[in-house]
């Protein structure tokens, strides 16, 4: 089978799936670089014809088909899928995880709040503001799920402060539950990067001394 007009990215993906090497000429092809798969078929996806490779020995690449009613929905689905794959890649490279459901944020907020009590001057106000910002993350989770965020987040803070280090928000029941039992975890590397990026953005805003606003352009006529 010969595929004409294939782009190089497609050829690289086929090479990864079939276990083949990309050849520049057919003068002396060898059996050990041709690759193999169980079946090759032409299928219809909507109004487009695509070639489907099944039963590949290496399976180092795959295709994900996204379909939607509009371009905006497809773009949003693609971004969400890309974020999920990036999290998966980070989890594979770094196996360390932390409990989700707002557990990590509340524990960090409690630790930062304790630090603020030992600091004198206006610096303590900045540390307390950082603790409040951390508490906003589980609050947003509860709000998005339609629960009373004030009550459920306070219950979570109380549970962690009393020594339940595995407590988190269960968005199926709207109650505080054990994250280890539910299997709710997050990638540590992703959480670290999110905190660093948010902190850097806040620092950049605080360092702005003044904002210059341009006068509106005068209308003619």
Q: What is the mean pLDDT of the chain?
A: 82
Phi, psi torsion values for 200, nearest 5 degrees: -65, -40
Distance CA 165, CA 145 (A): 23
Last residue of a domain, one of 78, 94, 110: 94
Return the CATH number at 45: 3.50.7.10
Q: Are residues 14 and 26 in the same domain?
A: yes
Distance CA 162, CA 110 (A): 12
Domain presence at residue 218: no
How much of the chain exceeds pLDDT 90, in percent?
11
Q: Are residues 140 and 87 in the same domain?
A: no
Helices (H), the chain: 8-18, 71-93, 103-116, 123-144, 149-161, 179-182, 188-206
pLDDT in tens, 140-186: 989 988 888 889 999 999 999 898 889 999 988 888 999 999 988 88
Q: Which residues pair with 53 in a beta bridge?
A: 40
Span 67-86, mean pLDDT? 86
The number of distinct structural domains making up the chain is 3
Q: Is the pTM of this model over 0.75?
A: no
State the CB neighbour count (10 A cutoff) for residue 100: 20
| Token pair for 85 | 């794959």
Domain presence at residue 221: no
The residue range of the domain holding 9 is 1-65
Q: Give the residue, 183 or 12, on which the prediction is more confident.
A: 183
């Amino acid at each position: 089978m010969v595929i004409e007009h294939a782009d190089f990215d497609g050829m690289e993906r086929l090479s990864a799936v079939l276990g083949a090497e990309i050849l520049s000429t057919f003068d002396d092809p060898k059996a050990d670089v041709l690759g193999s798969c169980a079946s090759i078929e032409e299928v219809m996806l909507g109004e487009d014809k695509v070639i489907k490779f099944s039963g590949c020995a290496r399976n180092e690449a795959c295709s994900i088909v996204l379909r939607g009613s509009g371009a905006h929905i497809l773009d949003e689905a693609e971004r969400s899928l890309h974020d999920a794959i990036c999290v998966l890649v980070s989890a594979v490279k770094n196996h360390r995880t932390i409990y989700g459901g707002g557990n990590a944020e509340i524990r960090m907020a409690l630790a930062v709040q304790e630090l603020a009590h030992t600091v004198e001057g206006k610096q303590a106000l900045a540390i307390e503001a950082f603790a409040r910002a951390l508490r906003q993350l589980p609050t947003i989770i509860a709000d998005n799920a339609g629960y009373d965020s004030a009550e459920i987040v306070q219950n979570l803070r109380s549970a962690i402060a009393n020594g339940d280090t595995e407590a988190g928000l269960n968005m199926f029941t709207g109650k505080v539950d054990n994250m280890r039992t539910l299997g709710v975890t997050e990638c540590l590397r992703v959480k670290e990067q999110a905190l660093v990026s948010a902190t850097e953005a806040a620092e950049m805003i605080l360092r702005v001394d003044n904002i210059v606003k341009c006068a509106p352009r005068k209308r003619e006529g």
